[in-house]
A and B are shown apart, each in its own frame.
Chain A
């Protein structure tokens, strides 16, 4: 049956079962997101996709569109909240863009540019998260994990291996590898897995690639994340 809702004042059609985010994208409107991925069901954890509907803040990646809704997304208020969420993500992990090989290809960094985040604002946690270099082909640098669980879902639902999991809560939350030793080398993880290419930030990295792509040719060098997302469907 479907219907229509207003997105920042513009009519957006939707089909039954579509979320606000899906319908908005289909109509050419970008909504920031980190834990949502077009190939996976909504997860609703990062809250970057918040929009305002009838005075309430909701996750647009999870909420089904309804006829006649009035959705506010690209407003100073909502973007300010998204910026604050990003700032918290930056201080919770150890994100040092100038020496990170994911720089220029990282969704967290690209969103920070998109939303004009100019400082960290909060005090850094500087958590201690040692890297796992045990696997011959893939390095895990947990310093940059934002707990989107895309790798968890990809490994479980697509690769059927269940290599990754989140453990602990709140400030102690962290990503673990499902092996007695806790080491990636002791799982059946392989470089061709879907989970090997899913991380939106710089945690799951193919070894020995590093800075092979020069500045200027990286994903977000020329186009902003909203443009890339809408044009390439990413």
Chain B
């Protein structure tokens, strides 16, 4: 697969443009472009600027603390880490999680999917999509959307709020909750919370349908852009339920190749290491995972909504399944590979999450039933979950004294590292090459990265957020232009 723009031959002679840091993306990241005198792009890279090893914090801590502690990894999807760590610790304890506990965790997780997907689409990406990549930069934000499309913005805000309420009701707090514990859960859903959520869920399903419609309308209005922008071949990976259904909470690993053919299937989560290797490149702190049997050059893959919607055989809720079929038909027999299709797939998942929540809220197991079970204690466990941004892997070893001795995390953004770099190169090559760079053109690159909804703070395991600034620098590293956005 194309990596021709990864490293230019005559790097020292080229002019350097830095997009630093990438705006409206969580964490610290930057893009560097090397241009020759005729403005041809010769090299394009997405780098992660900062690195702090979170694994070190975890080693030496008691295992029961880990599901709460790992939430510090990310301010956007702490629940994904909370649940992935819990699932890994279930294995350490050898516990078969009870029916009630699993349903409560599922409710929490789909609440997280709903809030994260709503945040990403409405707050972070809809400004580009509704106004255009080169529209006035001061208006290209959620405030601008609220002015021009008040109903869209309102539904986005309230969808997110609903997801956060689901999290609060199951985890105890919107962030840094404690609901999921090794071996199960520490709480049921309260009846008042259940009733309050139930009163709103039909509206949420309806708004989620409207969100899918909105993305489809955008695709129809400009097929040349939506079907071509950042399009490239890639393998995909996700968890899939035993019967082939989409399941974002639990399943076995499946890989498909760029033609949509299944490469590897039904690999149990505990065996991820037999499949995935990680490559280190000198210019990036973030590793590059790949499917071992294909090697680093051919084995890289995409994760996240675009991968999941096409990797499963069906979606087990009717409205989202109908949307999935329409999405697959759109590819006319080929996998849908365009970068902006991530948004379409993401909104199908948003709808699926709303439907799952609706079904779960009618389930009495959420209100009563055993929350914890006993098992035969072991020393190792892997927990994999489909986080909003893609597959999230937590792997621990725990000593007989209950302290963690080994911790390995592979987050969604790391899985997507090569895919995002490829997207950057595609877009740089196609839209920027040979042209005078403007903010609007550079924003094309950000639009491509943003479609992956990367969470660089997760990926670098760094703590905290960044100010959102875009800078253009010349060959000497001198800043020639600077835009600050909030």
Contacts and interface: CB of A to CB of B under 8 A. Distances in A.
A139 interface: yes
Given A131-B403, A133-B402, A133-B403, A211 B62 contact: no
A207 B181 contact: no
Given A99-B68, A99-B69, A208-B402, A133 B62 contact: yes
B402 A214 contact: no
Contacts of B68: 98-99, 101, 210-211
Contact of B181 (A130, A131, A212): A212
A208 B64 contact: yes
B60 interface: yes
Contact of A210 (B176, B177, B181, B401): B181
Interface string B390-406: 00000000010111000
Contact of B60 (A98, A130, A207, A213): A130
Interface in A27-62: none
A123 interface: no
B292 interface: no
B151 to A, nearest CB: 35
A157 to B, nearest CB: 29
A98 B72 contact: yes
Interface in B45-99: 60-62, 64-65, 67-69, 71-72
A52 to B, nearest CB: 38
B177 to A, nearest CB: 7
B183 to A, nearest CB: 9
Interface in A125-155: 130-131, 133-134, 139
A180 to B, nearest CB: 19
B179 interface: yes
Interface string B208-221: 00000000000000
B173 A215 contact: yes
Nearest to B62: A139
A11 to B, nearest CB: 43
Given A209-B64, A214-B186, A99 B172 contact: no
Given A98-B72, A133-B62, A139-B62, A215 B178 contact: yes
Contacts of B389: none
A213 B172 CA distance: 11
A98 B172 contact: no
B72 A211 contact: no
Nearest to A214: B187
A15 to B, nearest CB: 44
Interface residues of B, number: 25
B177 A215 contact: yes
A31 B186 CA distance: 34
A134 to B, nearest CB: 6
A214 B65 contact: no
Contacts of A210: 62, 64-65, 68, 181-182
A74 B316 CA distance: 61
Contacts of B72: 98-99
Contacts of A98: 68, 71-72, 176
B85 to A, nearest CB: 11
B307 to A, nearest CB: 31
Given A212-B181, A214-B179, A139 B186 contact: no
Interface string B409-451: 0000000000000000000000000000000000000000000
A193 B60 CA distance: 26
A192 interface: no
A142 to B, nearest CB: 12
Contacts of B62: 131, 133, 139, 207, 210
Contacts of A134: 401
A76 interface: no
A212 B178 CA distance: 9
A9 interface: no
A214 B446 CA distance: 41
Contacts of B61: 131
A105 to B, nearest CB: 12
A170 interface: no
Interface in B351-401: 399, 401
Contacts of A139: 62, 402
Contacts of B177: 215
A94 to B, nearest CB: 11
Contacts of A212: 181, 186
A207 B399 CA distance: 13
A45 B3 CA distance: 66
A212 B184 CA distance: 10
B64 A214 contact: no
Contacts of A208: 64, 402
B461 to A, nearest CB: 15
Interface string B167-194: 0000111001111011000110000000
A208 B374 CA distance: 12
Contacts of B176: 98-99
Contacts of A209: 64
Nearest to A185: B401
Which residue, of B62, B176, B179, has the highest number of chain A Cβ atoms within 10 A?
Answer: B62
Contacts of A215: 171-173, 177-178
B65 A101 contact: yes
13 contacts: A99-B68, A101-B65, A131-B61, A133-B401, A133-B402, A134-B401, A139-B62, A139-B402, A207-B62, A207-B402, A210-B64, A210-B182, A211-B64
Interface of B: 60-62, 64-65, 67-69, 71-72, 171-173, 176-179, 181-182, 186-187, 399, 401-403
Given A210-B181, A214-B179, A216-B187, 18 more contacts: A99-B65, A99-B68, A101-B64, A131-B61, A131-B62, A133-B62, A133-B399, A139-B402, A207-B402, A210-B65, A210-B182, A211-B64, A211-B178, A213-B186, A214-B178, A214-B187, A215-B172, A215-B173
| Nearest 5 interchain pairs by C-beta | A215-B172, A210-B64, A214-B187, A99-B69, A133-B401
